[in-house]
Amino acid sequence: MKRDLVSFALWTPQQLGEVLAQARRLKSGTARASASLAHRSAALIFEEESLRTRVSFEVGIAQLGGHSIFLPQESIGLATRESVHDIGAVLSQYTNLIIARTTRHQACVQLAESARVPVINAMTDLLHPCQILADALTLQELERFNSSTKIAVVGDGNNIVNSWLELAEKFPLHFVLACPAGCEPHPQILEQALASKVSRIEVLQDPQEAARDADVIYTDVWPLSRTGGDEGKRLALFRPYQVNRALLRLAHKDCVVMHRLPANRGEEITGEVIDGKQSVVLRQAENRLHVQNAVMMYLLETRSD
């Protein structure tokens, strides 16, 4: 029976731990990428533009011995020209793996339900599991992936936050979100994370309170959707949540700064901070490759019961 990575919901801490451990071995060179995709193909369905996600997956597929087929929305018409179900069923006859970056999370879920091959969520409006696994690997390398490390996300309760909350159901963390009223994460995901009582989770509106004594400060682009596309309202709503030198002074002196990229320098984060010595954004980006290779190997080589 095939396994997917659409969210962390059906994954155990042990399974996610295996993926992270394999990613560390791949990065260090103590393990080599297997030929799990040798003479096989992987389809990449992308509804949106991409740099890190597309390149890291295509390079990783090549390292695993496979061939990637890039399928942009204008080529296949996901849920417009052709149903999601039919696309998943047809691609299962041609390829051995489907990687999907879809605008709607439900489209990724439907692909996984209709496909007979593993499906990886490369980002949806709801979740971004590959990014968060790369972030977890980054924090493991820095010895900061534990319950005593305060991880403060400042800005919007978006797909990054939702995936962090899902991970907080699996591993004990101290996770704090500071966001404007009305910009909270998905209520059901937040409720489940709180109910699990695995991690200490706080949702605040004060970015300074969140940043105080933080070991990690994480930010992401400010969305237009929360303000109905009004640029002025967007800037006014989120401006107090900018990650800058003043905010960093509230955190621990060795606090690291994270951002999934791409970034709008001067908006959610200043240029001096994202390019500064406390920034680990390039390490996060590099770790996408190693984590995704580990995920692909796991899905292709491990069968669920």
Residue-wise pLDDT for 210-267, tens only, equals 999 999 999 999 999 888 889 999 999 999 999 999 999 999 999 999 999 999 999 9
* Cβ atoms 54, 46 nearer than 8 A: yes
pLDDT at 304 over 60: no
User: So what's the pLDDT on residue 303?
Assistant: 61
Give the pairing of strands 67-72 and 216-219: unpaired
* Cβ atoms 70, 42 nearer than 8 A: no
Where do you find CATH 3.40.50.1370 in the chain? 13-128+285-301, 143-279
CA distance 140 to 293: 17
Alpha helices in 78-158 (DSSP H): 84-94, 105-114, 129-141
Residue-wise pLDDT for 142-155, tens only, equals 999 999 999 999 99
CA proximity to 162, closest of 140, 179, 142: 179
Residue 302 pLDDT class (50, 70, 90 cuts): confident
Considering the segment(s) 13-128+285-301 as one domain, its CATH architecture is: 3-Layer(aba) Sandwich (3.40)
- Backbone angle region of 79, left / alpha / beta, with phi > 0 → left and psi within -120 to 50 → alpha: left
Residue-wise pLDDT for 31-49, tens only, equals 888 898 999 999 999 999 9
Does the N-terminal peptide bond of residue 223 adopt cis geometry, omega within 30 degrees of 0?
Answer: no
Residue-wise pLDDT for 111-168, tens only, equals 999 999 999 999 999 999 999 999 999 999 999 999 999 999 999 999 999 999 999 9
Domain 143-279 fold is Rossmann fold (3.40.50)
Residue 96 tokens read as: 């051995």
Per DSSP, the residues of 231-285 read HHHHHHHHGGG-B-HHHHTTS-TT-EEEE-S---BTTTB-HHHHTSTTB-HHHHH
